Amino acid sequence: MKYWIILSCLALSVNTHNLSAQTPEKDTQSLSFSNSQILQRAQTACVQITSRAIDDAASARTLGKERQGTGIVIRADGLILTIGYLILETEQIEIRTHQQKTYPAQVVAYDQATGFGLIKSLIPLQGIEPVKFGKSQDQKIDEMLLVVSAGESAFSGPTKLKDIRAFTGYWEYHLDSAIYTSPPVVNHSGAGLFNLQGELIGIGSLFMQDVMPAENPASLAGNMFVPVELLEPIFKEMLQNGVGPNSRRPWLGINAVERQGRIQIVRVTPESPAYLAGIRPGQWLLGLNEKPVESLSAFYKQLWAVPINSGSVKVTVFDGREINQIPVNVVDRSKTIKKPVGV
């Protein structure tokens, strides 16, 4: 029996158009949802987040000024976990619950390293039970999981675990462990990924054209989720300081991708350290501080190992004609993020 039939029997509120397009094929795996209460609790804990960036937010160029996604209530006092880009450099945040009640909220913390964001409702939330956390490492490949998102394009439905491996983003971002699922969910930003016991194991981050590992010839579109296990080691500091301990690290403002075994710069953030030093899109990234870089993830790790107070780094680039070593000032990324007046 197909999963969407089983789930509808559990009286879920599901977007059937999306679900029919995204439901996995038949599987002999048994759904261990003992009753609809598990799923209803997951849906209840998911809230819609609507945010507006501050007027001079640099992130508005790529993320937009108006943003919308999902957050998950993780504490009884209204603390909500989401994906950080929804609240990065924002000043107006509202949450809408499953009861269609709207509450103002404020940013508590943003962690550059994991991508997690924390916000808190300014008014006590009623009738919402915080989720419990599970572990992504306890799940097996091809095991069925549940994705829940909130808002106008709310979705509740099944997906499958396809892999757990590292993820390297083009925007100076790397996770040693990330969750890859398929089929894809369009409304993935901040969506909750739950196991069959109703425990939260991941927060939605990206849509991906292919989530399969490189050694697998198959190609499947899907999503990348940030494992919630990454929150525990940094949670206390996020609450105390508004950032995680690894957010204070060098930032250049380079967007780069791997092509044919080499690293090419595809975008340079205006007025960033790399831009001011003369680095431009199209150049090939060869080394850092006179050491060659073999991959984008290796480059990031070499960069982040540089002390913030070191002054500058030497970036080796090739522009198609000559190789140059370009000094670039070291900037703490957490200090470049704009905040609303008074924060």
Count of residues in the chain: 343
Range of the domain at 268: 250-332
- Whether residue 264 is contained in a domain is answered as yes
Average pLDDT on 321-334 reads 94
- Whether residue 290 is contained in a domain is answered as yes
| pLDDT tens for each residue of 146-175 | 999 998 888 999 999 999 999 999 999 999
Question: Quick one: CA dihedral 39, 31, 184, 137, positive or negative?
Answer: positive
Domain count, the chain: 1
Average pLDDT on 254-277 reads 96
- Whether residue 202 is contained in a domain is answered as no
Paired tokens of 85: 């880009």
Name the residue among 140, 160, 198, 200 with its Cα closest to residue 12. Answer: 198
- Whether residue 302 is contained in a domain is answered as yes
Residues 6+ apart with CB under 8 A from 342: none
| CATH number of 283's domain | 2.30.42.10
Please say if the pLDDT value at position 186 is more than 70: yes
- Whether residue 191 is contained in a domain is answered as no
| pLDDT tens for each residue of 61-73 | 889 999 999 999 9
Average pLDDT on 133-144 reads 96
Please give the Cα distance from 168 to 255 (Å, whole number): 11
- Whether residue 282 is contained in a domain is answered as yes
Please give the Cα distance from 97 to 278 (Å, whole number): 47
Q: Is 321 helix (H, G, I), strand (E, B) or coil?
A: coil
Please say if the pLDDT value at position 29 is more than 60: no
